Amino acid sequence: MPMDLTVATHGPTIFITDEDFDRLDRLAAGAQSAKLPAAELLASELDRAVVCSAAEIAADVVTMNSRVTFHIGSEVQRHTRTLVYPEDYPTDGSGDDHLSVMTPLGAALIGMPAGSRIEYETVNGTSRLVTVDAVPHQPQAARQDGARRQRRESDPERR
């Protein structure tokens, strides 16, 4: 069954770092030629993304290697996963806290700010609504926080 991308192309504004965009664009192109289910959704998401530098992206936006807390539909249960590239997904059975960007859910979450929601289609054709509740860890924000902390610690006037 072909994936309906109507909602994805008209979803909320998403933000992707230039570094993530370049890598995801290559990944989506390769996956489209291999006819992987999430490839069209990922390509659609990239087409509508606002691309910005890592320094400009807000700390509550889901980027690659971010920890994201989300819920599906009206479920009370919250899920927290790290969004990863397919090659970084653990193959030893320890991947319960990871989510590949090449799954429909992973492709739907990339670039979404906390508080936003989007409808996506699962591999079996079921339409689902996912809401981003929080981004407890984002690599870009963590690097910026570390750099600020290092500057404060090295500035004798701030000690």
Comparing C-alpha atoms, which of 69, 70, 53 is closest to residue 131?
A: 70
Highest mean pLDDT among 8-12, 89-93, 113-117: 113-117
Q: What angle do CA 84, 63, 123 make, to 5 degrees?
A: 55
Half-sphere exposure of 104 (CA within 13 A, CB side): 21
Q: Is the pLDDT of residue 131 over 60?
A: yes
Q: What is the pLDDT of residue 152?
A: 56
CA distances to 17, 60, 63, 75 from 112, in Å:
12, 8, 8, 19
Q: How confident is the model at residue 143 (pLDDT cuts 50, 70, 90)?
A: confident
Element spanning 28, H or E: helix 18-33
Strand, coil or helix: 61: strand
- Which domains, and CATH codes, for the chain? 6-151 (3.10.50.30)
Which pTM was predicted? 0.82
